[in-house]
Amino acid sequence: MDQHSTTNGEMQMTDGSGLVPGGFRPAQEVVGEGEPLSLRNEFAEVVVRKVRTRNGVRLEICAPRLGYAIRLCPLQLEALTWQSSEVFSGFLTEPFGPTGEPMQT
């Protein structure tokens, strides 16, 4: 993973191709953005922020230690509330993310 500075000085993790794991180019399609909020404990660290893209507002979630990131629309975020805790427990079968290449979104 390489780190690249965006125009606002923020560091973004990329795989050398310019794509953040998750499939989007950092800051390329972001029109506006909110202040990042960092959450961490002894097991994980995430940085979340509201971003405005050409396709509307999204919540961007980045895992800087692992180099993964995703942008979720309001419907995708609402769908998270429909899930049971067992669904999220299933995500932890691979606690360091999927093996192999990141999925393109």
Q: Look up the pTM and report it.
A: 0.64
Across the chain, what does the average pLDDT equal? 75
| Any domain includes 104 | no
**Can you give the residue range of the structural domain that contains 50?**
2-91
Residue 100 placed within a domain: no
Among 45, 69, 66, smallest CA distance to 1 is for 66
pLDDT at 98: 72
Q: How many CB atoms lie within 10 A of CB 46?
A: 16
Q: Give the phi and the psi of residue 89 in degrees, each rounded to 5.
A: -60, -35
Residue 8, domain member (yes or no): yes
Q: What's the average model confidence in pLDDT over 82-89?
A: 93
Is position 16 within any domain? yes
Q: What is the number of structural domains in the chain? A: 1
